Amino acid sequence: MRTGIVEYKNFGKCIELSAGGIKAVATLDVGPRIIYYGTDKKNMLFEDIGRAVKNGGEYFDKNFKKGEMWNIYGGHRMWKSPEDDASYVPDNYPIKYETDGGAATLFGNLQSNTRLQFKMSLEMKDDGALSVVHTIENKGAYTAELAVWAITVLAGGGVEIIPFNTNDTGFLPNNFFAFWPYDDPNDKRLSFDGGNVFLTQKPGAESPFKLGLLCKKGVAGYLNDGLLFIKKFPYQNGARYPDNNCNYETYTSGLILEMESLSPVFAVEPNGSVSHAEEFGLVLNVKDKEHAARLLREA
């Protein structure tokens, strides 16, 4: 297992964790972001080298510096849910960090508009699996009602696999799906087969698509070029989740596909905090989406 400071492309100073032929790279000059997770030859995550995905305008001029822009940068980030203007906090500045063997903790800067502070704790296991704990602390004067939102932005060209719930609920439903106003339920990128949801990232697609659901198994995957990225996350029975009770959401455009898990909704009192954990994994030499689906059922 190795940990070290590196310069990575135009993201500046980063910290690299590696083990088992897999490496993770997290930004230190912006973020926090995990900008790389994959093998030495292939990054499973999207990298916005050209800073093509961004947001700005009147809200940003009023609440931050004039002309300030929020950049997606790519990779993996954390937000607070529900989504609103205040979700788009520019994180374009160096952050503090600590390291301890194969682990690192990244401390985001205090958000001036929300008075929230994000922390991301990373630990790589010997097999290359990466534990990611997301913590939001409320530094404001009032209670904040929110959920922790862990968003992984994947590189284009792959297909996502999400297992159906299989619990027997008798006469009651055990699966439901949430759609957004811009969705077309007949979108050909979306399909259902063999007890799974499949969502294909189509490069150059003109319209976005987003889907939400309650994923009780707490696992989803993204197959791209024979590599299966696995994202594991907790499900808490009886908890209230955002967006009509979704603990998992996914979004795709002509450029990216996002895998998003959410914590339950919490009332976070001043100086209080809430955390949400995930685990990343990577499987090599996966033949097709059916093979990937079997692996996820066994995960």
pLDDT, one tens digit per residue, over 139-189 is 999 999 999 999 999 999 999 999 999 989 999 999 999 999 999 999 999
Q: How many Å apart are CA 88 and CA 70, to the nearest integer?
A: 6
CATH number at residue 205: 2.70.98.10
Average pLDDT, integer, range 62-69: 95
Q: How many Å apart are CA 218 and CA 47, to the nearest integer?
A: 26
| Number of structural domains the chain divides into | 1
In DSSP terms, which residues pair with 196 in a beta bridge? Answer: 163, 193
For residue 236, what is the DSSP state? -
Q: Is the pTM higher than 0.95? A: yes
pLDDT digits (tens, 9 = 90+) for 206-240: 999 999 999 999 999 999 999 999 999 999 999 99
Whether the per-residue pLDDT at 1 is higher than 80: the answer is: no
Nearest to 40 by CA among 81, 90, 6: 6
Q: How many Å apart are CA 115 and CA 136, to the nearest integer?
A: 10
Whether the per-residue pLDDT at 94 is higher than 80: the answer is: yes
What residues make up the domain containing 187? 2-298
The pLDDT of residue 101: 85
